[in-house]
Amino acid sequence: MACIRLKENCEFNGENTYRHVHAHLPNYARPHFIRIKSAIELTATFKYRKVQLMEEGFNPAVIKDCLYILDEKENTYVQMTQAIYNSVKNHHFRL
């Protein structure tokens, strides 16, 4: 999973992001999930708060941020829904 903050007045484009990731990252380094946050939280020593993100996982019922999943068949990132989440948990949607 990658957690990013968009520039002001920018919107996430799943197709462009997929093309960029596919062109610049090897298969093993491509994020299956992209989480869009309004602000990146830091610790007192200016490190990223990753533990909370890991604990929240990728359940759309828990996460209030926008969350996208890599769809290799469509060559894009699509918004995560509860149905997709259930498919992943039941091993019907392969990562």
pLDDT of residue 63: 86
Per-residue tokens: 52 = 């909370």
Please work out, in degrees rounded to the nearest 5, the angle formed at the alpha carbon of residue 60 by the alpha carbons of 45 and 34: 55
- Residue 49 lies inside a defined structural domain of this protein: yes
What residues form DSSP beta bridges with 77?
Answer: 70
- Rounded Cα distance between 54 and 75, Å, is 26
Q: Would residue 64 count as lying in a domain? A: yes
Question: Is residue 11 situated within a structural domain?
Answer: yes
What is the reported pLDDT for 11?
Answer: 92
Is residue 95 assigned to a domain?
no
Grouping H, G, I as helix, E, B as strand and the rest as coil, residue 58 is coil
Across the range 87-92, mean pLDDT stands at 86
What does the pLDDT look like over 65-83, one tens digit per residue?
A: 899 999 989 999 999 999 9
Domain count, the chain: 1
Q: Are 57 and 87 in contact, with CB atoms under 8 Å apart? A: no
Task: Tell me whether residue 55 is in a domain.
Answer: yes
pLDDT in tens, 32-66: 999 998 877 777 777 777 777 777 888 888 888 89
State the Rg of the chain over Cα.
Answer: 14
